[in-house]
Amino acid sequence: MTSTSKADQSATSESVVEDREDWIQVDVRTSLDAGELLGVLNDPDVTGAWQEDDQVHLYWPAGRCGPDTWQDLKRALTQLGHQDPDHAVSINQLANRDWNAQWSRLVEPIRIGGVLIRPSWKEVPLRSGEIELIIDPKQAFGTGHHATTQLLIEWLQQLVRPDDRVLDVGTGSGVLAMVAVRLGAAEALGVDFDAVAVDCAREYAQVNGFDGRLTLAVGHAQARQPHETFNPTLVLANLDRQTLLASTETLCEYAAGAARLLLSGLLVEQRAEIEAAYAARGVYVKAVRERDGWLALEATAMEMCEGGLCS
C-alpha cells in the first residue's frame, strides 16, 4: 500500500518475539487503508498491521503503548476523516503464543498471476514460469494481500519492458520494485520517506537475493531526491489520495519526461479528483482497473497517449 507506510523494527517470527510476554491488539473498524493509517500515525512502536474486511488490526508490545498511544491513534483517525474514532477502536491483550498464532492464521501465501508471495514459514511449490518473493509481514506494508498492490502486480506483468527503469515511490516493503526487477526491468529504485521502512525493505531484498539492479533509498514522493539523475520510464505510486495530490507536480514531471505512471491507493469515489488534478498538468488517465472498491490508474502525458486518445 504501501506502504503503503509504514515501517517496522521487529519481525513477526516466534524467534524474534519469544522474549516478550504480552502484546496489545487494537482493532479499528474503518474503511481506511491500513497503509494510509500507519503513515499518518507514524508510530515506530507499531510492530505489525493487518487489514481484514472492514477492520484494521494494529499491534504494539504491551510495554510500549499507553494513553498517549490511543490519543495519537484517535488524532490520526480524525485527520483521515473518520467520523467517530472513540467508538471505532477496541483494545485486546494477547499472550506471546497468541501473537504468533494470529499472524500464522492471517498471513497466507498469495498468487497474483505469475507472482507468488509467501511468508518464510510457509513453503509452497513453484509453478512453471512463476517468480517468488518471500515477504514476512511487518509494519512496512506490502505483503501483496491488499487490492491496490494486487492490481499493480497484475499490471506490471503486462507492462514491464526489458529496458524499463522503474521508480517506486512510497515503496514500503519494496515489493513492487522487487516484482518489477524479477519481471525483467533493467533497474528499479524504491524510495520511502521512512528510513526504518527502507531498512526493512533492504532486509527483504537481501533475503530474496537481489543485486545492484534494485536500489532502496530514503526519499519523498513530492521530490526527486535522493537520486535526481534517475530518469524513470515507469513510475509506481501506490500511495493514498492525500499523497497523490501532494505529489502531482513531481509525478507529472516524470510523465512529461515520457514516463508511464501507475497510480493506486485510491477508492472509486476519489477517482474524479485525482484525474482532474493530473489533467490540469497535462497528464491523462488512459486505463483503469478496479478491485474491491479500489482503483489503479495508468496515466501518461498527452503526447504519449496512443492516437491522442486518453480516457
CATH number of the CATH domain containing 235: 3.40.50.150
* 3-state secondary structure labels for all residues of 134-184: ECCCCCCCCCCCCHHHHHHHHHHHHHCCCCCEEEEECCCCCHHHHHHHHCC
- Do 144 and 72 sit in the same domain of this protein? no
Residue 263: per-residue pLDDT: 97
pLDDT tens track for 15-38: 233 344 588 889 999 877 676 787
Select the more confidently predicted residue: 212 or 146.
212
State CA 121 to chain mean position distance.
22
141 pLDDT band, cuts 50/70/90, is low
- Do 151 and 281 sit in the same domain of this protein? yes
Residue 12: per-residue pLDDT: 29
Instruction: Please state the rounded mean pLDDT for residues 173-193.
Output: 95
Instruction: Please state the rounded mean pLDDT for residues 117-136.
Output: 92
Distance from C-alpha of 311 to C-alpha of 303, rounded to nearest angstrom? 14
The last residue of one of the domains, among 80, 105, 130, is 105
**pLDDT(11) > 50:** no
Instruction: Please state the rounded mean pLDDT for residues 198-211.
Output: 93
Residue 183: per-residue pLDDT: 98
Residue 187: per-residue pLDDT: 97
For residue 240, is it within any domain? Answer: yes
Range of 65's domain?
A: 14-105
Q: pTM above the 0.85 mark?
A: no
Residue 65: per-residue pLDDT: 85
Number of domains comprising the chain: 2
Select the more confidently predicted residue: 47 or 14.
47
- Do 216 and 169 sit in the same domain of this protein? yes
- Do 196 and 262 sit in the same domain of this protein? yes
**pLDDT(81) > 70:** yes
261, β-bridge pairs? 235, 299
- Do 217 and 274 sit in the same domain of this protein? yes
- Do 86 and 28 sit in the same domain of this protein? yes
For residue 71, is it within any domain? Answer: yes
Task: Supply the CATH number for residue 18's domain.
Answer: 3.30.70
- Do 293 and 168 sit in the same domain of this protein? yes
Residue 226: per-residue pLDDT: 53
Residue 23: per-residue pLDDT: 81
For residue 117, is it within any domain? Answer: no
Q: Could you write out the DSSP letters of every residue in 45-110?
A: T--EEEEETTEEEEEEEGGG-SHHHHHHHHHHHHHTT-S-HHHHEEEEEEEHHHHHHHHHHH---E
Residue 286: per-residue pLDDT: 95
For residue 120, is it within any domain? Answer: no
For residue 153, is it within any domain? Answer: yes
Distance from C-alpha of 260 to C-alpha of 254, rounded to nearest angstrom? 8
- Do 264 and 150 sit in the same domain of this protein? yes
Select the more confidently predicted residue: 93 or 42.
93
The last residue of one of the domains, among 60, 83, 105, is 105
For residue 4, is it within any domain? Answer: no
Residue 132: per-residue pLDDT: 97
Q: Name the grid cell of 135.
A: 515477504
- Do 91 and 143 sit in the same domain of this protein? no
- Supply the mean pLDDT for the chain: 82
**pLDDT(110) > 60:** yes
For residue 116, is it within any domain? Answer: no
7 pLDDT band, cuts 50/70/90, is very low
